[in-house]
Each structure stands twice: as C-alpha cells, then as structure tokens.
Amino acid sequence: MRNDFLVFGAPAIEQAEIDEVVDSLRSRWLGTGPKVDRFEKDFAHYKGVEGGRVAAVNSCTAALHVSMIAAGLQPGDEVITSAMTFCATVNAIIHSGATPVLADIDPRTMNIDPEQVEKKITPKTKAILPVHFAGRPCDMDRLVAVAEKYKLKIVEDCAHAVEATYKGRAVGTLGDFGCFSFYVTKNVVTGEGGMVVARNRKDIDRVKILALHGMGKDAWHRYSDKGFEHYQVVECGFKYNMMDLQAAIGIHQLSRVEQNWIARQYVWRQYRKAFADLPLGLPEEPEQDTRHAYHLYTVFVDAQHAGIDRDRFLDALTRLNIGVGVHYLSIAEHPYYRKRFGWRPHDYPNALYVGRHTVSLPLSPALSDKDISDVTDAVSEVLGQARIAKVRAL
Ligand SMILES: Cc1ncc(COP(=O)(O)O)c(C=O)c1O
C-alpha cells in the first residue's frame, strides 16, 4: 500500500504557471485584463475559431447560464439535458429561467441518447443541452438532426471535453454555444474558470455583457491605459468575468494541453491492460472518427461479478490511499429535483445504473508510473480480497 494519499484529479502545475501568476501579482493587475485577452485568443486558436467568438468567464456553470440567456430562452421554455451529468448543468438551466427535462443515456457511451431526446420534445422545447460525458463526444449528427427538425438551439456542455473532436470538428463548435470548465480537476485548469464559444459573434457580445453586470462591452477595458471611458448598463447581468490571475495559469495549461492529453491516454491504456482480466466493466474505446478527451476513467463495479459492491469498493480503495470519485449519482436521485420536478430515478434506468455502479480512478497527467501501478495494484488487491471472501462464504 502506498504511504501517501493519491489525490484524485490533482492538476499538473509547472513552473511556467507559477512564474506567470507571480508576474501578475508583481504587476498588481489581478483582474480582467491582458492575460484574459491572450487566453481567449489562444483558446480560439486551439478550437479553430475566430477570436471574436469566445468569452472567458469564471466557471463553466456561468458559461452555461449566460449562454442559455443569450440563446433567448424564456421562462416556461424547456431544455432537454442528460440524466447523467453534474448538477451544475441542470442548475444553470433553472437559473436561466427555463425548465430542465431529462433524457436517459446510452449505457455504453454514458452520453445522452438522441432517441430519448426526441421522445421528450414538446411544443415548449427550445434547446438541447448535451454533455460530452467523461470526454467522449456525443452523437452530434443525430442531435443536430433533431435540433434542425424541431428548430432547437444546442448548448454543448464541454466541461470534460476540451480536446475532443467529432468527425474532425472540435466539440463546442458543433452547436450554437459550447461551454468549457477549467475547474481544478479538469483537463485545462485555472482554479475556477470557464469559456464560452459561440457560433455567432453577436451572441458572444451578449455573453460578455451578461458576464460583467450588463455593462456595455467596452467596460471590459475601463481600467486600461486606452483612455477613460464611461460605461453604460444595458441589461441586468452577472459577475462572471475571469481574472488575469486565473488566465495566467490557463495560458500555460493550454500550451501543454496536447502533451497532457497524451499523458492521460497513456494512463488509460495502462489501466485497460492491467484490468483486462478483472471482473470489472471497462469504459468503451473511443468511437471511430472521434477523439476522446480522456477526462474520466470510469469502471463498472457490479457486486455480482466483482464480489464487492460499488460503495465498498470506493471505501476499500480510499483505505489503500487511492483517491477515487463518483461521476455522478444520476440527476433524478437528488431530493431537490425530485421534489421540484417530480422526477423518479427509475424513469432513467441507464443513468441510475451508471450512477450506482461506476467508480472514477485517477487520470491526471501528473501521475507517475509508480502512481499508476499503485492504482492497478490496489484495484487487484481489493478484487482479490473480495474473491477470497466469497469463496470462504461458500
Ligand atoms: C459536466 C459538467 N458540467 C458543468 C460543470 C461545472 O463546471 P464549473 O465547476 O467550471 O462551473 C462541471 C464541473 O464539474 C461538469 O462536470
């Protein structure tokens, strides 16, 4: 057993990020400024879109919220999203004033099932919010076809999927809006942080206004050396702007995004090899013509095969100093949503099954070969002990 605790999702921070943050501190320009500008330009370049189509914000939750307002959603409009996602996806829909509607997932990909989406469409449906779960692109051809058929907007939740592509196109550029997260465990990290990519420049202009109190676009530069400008409030916005301190980290994280992707792909392959003969369900390999972002490596633990249930497996790995995660309990299991929307977990059986049987193992680019073998040894040990206990009980 390893001596220290292997933290789940610890980011790979290098000297360049540290120096850039120190540079921001020394310059005493901490808030939104030239580094946010640069981070936006770098991100747009990475995604292959023009600079005027991205806006940095302070979380993916904020990105989703302002995107849905910019998409023109009104109270009473319905937005269909995945029954297997982080609560932020659903909360952002509620905060935008719209009503969330859940569609079940394909249990193999853990992504929203386009057939279930179509079944949930009503005259009130105005948007679809697919989540590229664990970094695996959704079936966008089918979702776009549904959106076109019913004239719906698409807001992509790309919190897990910075590097993912679908048929050669970057995720986040396939719908009307793409929303990214730079939270501490994500593939590109700024501490807290997010980004919106929009199909139209005018939508990004609105996103920028909404993200800074509703002040006219030029307010972003009001403390710069470009000359004093009065700002005008043109609508009631939010305080969602990214700081230079955050962008300072993001600029260097983004410059290593491909290197880190290769490092996580390596971990994924090591796990696949090590677990091939164990009584676990392993994640599907990426679909043809797509690029998986390798954000989460989730194994299925079914007591019937593994001899141990999911929650005991989580406890046992934690006791062996391996940090693990659950992504996620299905949305309809949470009491708030059940009470407010009358959702029942068994109405989304695939999301329920995934939420009750999956465990996410460490998949950080910061993992060493020793860390990886500590994880694979610990998993084998837990399953080996479960097997012995089962034989003894016979
Ligand atoms: C699928 C999904 N959507 C949205 C979010 C929200 O991201 P943020 O923490 O940047 O607001 C997360 C964060 O974990 C997420 O996993």
**Cβ(360) – ligand 1 distance below 6 Å:** no
Confidence of residue 391 (pLDDT cuts 50, 70, 90): confident
Q: Mind listing the pLDDT tens digit for each residue in 360-371?
A: 999 999 999 999
Give pLDDT, residue 34: 94
pLDDT surpasses 80 at 229: no
Question: Measuring CA to CA, which residue among 213, 239, 174, 210 is closest to residue 69?
Answer: 210
Q: Is 191 left (phi over 0), alpha (psi -120 to 50) or beta?
A: left
Average confidence (pLDDT) over 162-185? 98
Q: Which two tokens stand for residue 341?
A: 């929307």
Query: Does 21 contact ligand 1 (Cβ within 6 A)?
Result: no
Distance 327 CA to ligand 1 centre (A): 11
Provide the pLDDT for residue 219: 63
Instruction: Name 143's Cβ contacts closer than 8 Å, sequence gap at least 6.
Output: 112, 114, 117, 128, 130, 154
Q: How far is ligand 1, taken at its centre, from the CA of residue 305, in Å?
A: 32
For the chain, how long is the longest CA-to-CA vector? 81
Pairing of strands 177-181, 153-157: parallel
Atom of ligand 1 nearest to the CA of 327: 16
- Find the 183 Cα to ligand 1 centroid distance in Å: 7
130 lines ligand 1 (CB under 6 A): no
Cβ(186)–Cβ(162) below 8 Å: yes
Q: How far is residue 341's CA from residue 349's CA, in Å, rounded to a whole number?
A: 17
- Taking only the tens place, the pLDDT of each residue in 153-168 is 999 999 999 999 999 9
pLDDT, tens digit (0-9, with 9 covering 90-100), for 294-336: 999 999 999 999 999 999 999 999 999 999 999 999 999 999 9
Q: Which atom of ligand 1 is nearest to the CA of 193?
A: 10
| Cβ partners under 8 Å of residue 74, min gap 6 | 97, 98, 126
pLDDT one-digit tens code per residue, 249-290:
999 999 999 999 999 999 999 999 999 999 999 999 999 999
Q: Which of 47, 126, 153, 186 is catalytic?
A: 186
Report the Cα 118 to chain-centroid distance in Å.
24
Measured CA to CA, the distance from residue 273 to residue 270 in angstroms comes to 5
Q: Is 239 a catalytic residue?
A: no
Average pLDDT for 204-212: 96
Q: Average model confidence (pLDDT) for the chain?
A: 96
Ligand 1, closest atom to CA 64? 4
- In 201-330, which ranges are continuous DSSP H helix? 201-211, 244-255, 257-275, 303-306, 310-319
| pLDDT value of position 1 | 86
Q: Give the CA distances from residue 17 to residues 41, 190, 368, in Å, rounded to whole numbers and listed in that order.
A: 18, 10, 20
> How far is the centre of ligand 1, averaged over its atoms, from the C-alpha of 227 (Å)?
37
| Helix (H) or strand (E) segment spanning residue 103 | strand 99-103
pLDDT for 393 equals: 83
**What's the pLDDT band for 223 if we cut at 50, 70, 90?**
low
